[in-house]
Amino acid sequence: MSVIERMLGRPDGPGDDNNGSLTIAPMRKRDLRQGILDTEAHAYPTPWSPGVFQSEIDQVAGGSRYYLTARRSSGTASGSRRSSKGRIVGHAGLWFTLDEAHVTNVAVHPDARRTGVATALMLALAEEAIRRECTAWTLEVRVSSDGAQELYRNF
Ligand SMILES: CC(C)(COP(=O)(O)OP(=O)(O)OC[C@H]1O[C@@H](n2cnc3c(N)ncnc32)[C@H](O)[C@@H]1OP(=O)(O)O)[C@@H](O)C(=O)NCCC(=O)NCCS
């Protein structure tokens, strides 16, 4: 049984964990400066520019793209807007072509890695691909990205 089959069926969903509550929600342009660009700069040798993200988000409404932001709330929110909504710790996206879903980006901030954020994002992408009845799920990974290869192998 794949991780998708195992985790999509679990009652508490992929967003609950032991490291604070993880929330996955559609990416908004204002998320870019609130954490996404910082994570992106840490994640890739050639990070996407704000313009690339904005162009991708612009295509969501037409149905050819799907982008998500992961936020983690520590559970010790002081009442401020930022702390109650949580801190942005990762992002991911899909590009739909015909009946295929292609993973365009998965990145997690270095200080939030190995806590299940990418797994939760990938599961949410998989749910959307299944909902749209995609028959294929593709991605590209750098040969040097051992962590990403291991993550993808789980799927
Ligand atoms: C790859 C990346 C997205 C993983 O994010 P993450 O939130 O740390 O991943 P998860 O915590 O969900 O990891 C799930 C599993 O993937 C595997 N994995 C993730 N990172 C790994 C690493 N650095 N080394 C080995 N295995 C790793 C493990 O099996 C892990 O399970 P475990 O922690 O119980 O052992 C993150 O390291 C990152 O942003 N890297 C830079 C950007 C990148 O390479 N993106 C991929 C597109 S090419």
Please tell me if the CB atom of residue 117 comes closer than 6 angstroms to any atom of ligand 1. yes
Please tell me if the CB atom of residue 14 comes closer than 6 angstroms to any atom of ligand 1. no
At 142, which CATH number? 3.40.630.30
Read off the pLDDT of residues 37-62 as tens digits, 9 standing for 90 and up. Answer: 999 999 999 999 999 999 999 999 99
Contact 102, 95 (CB under 8 A): yes
Please tell me if the CB atom of residue 119 comes closer than 6 angstroms to any atom of ligand 1. yes
- Does residue 29 register a pLDDT over 50? yes
From CA 118, how far away is CA 29, in angstroms rounded?
Answer: 20
pLDDT-derived band at 26, boundaries 50, 70, 90: very high
Count of domains observed in the chain: 1
- Is 138 or 20 the better-scoring residue by pLDDT? 138
pLDDT-derived band at 83, boundaries 50, 70, 90: very low
Residue of 108, 115, 144 with the most ligand 1 atoms within 8 Å of its CB, for mutation: 108
- Does residue 92 register a pLDDT over 90? yes
DSSP class per residue in 7-30: HHT-TT-TT--SSSEEEEEE--GG
Residue of 42, 48, 114, 115 with the most ligand 1 atoms within 8 Å of its CB, for mutation: 114
> Which residues, other chains included, contact 71 with Cβ-Cβ below 8 Å and sequence gap of 6+?
22, 23, 25, 85, 86, 87, 88, 89
* Residue-range definition of the domain harbouring residue 126: 3-154
Q: What is the pLDDT of residue 13?
A: 46
pLDDT-derived band at 91, boundaries 50, 70, 90: very high
Q: Which candidate, 32, 12, 10, 21, places its Cα nearest to that of 117?
A: 21
pLDDT-derived band at 130, boundaries 50, 70, 90: very high
| Segment 22-32 mean pLDDT | 97
Strand partners, 72: 22, 87
Across all residues in the chain, what is the average pLDDT? 87
Contact 124, 101 (CB under 8 A): no
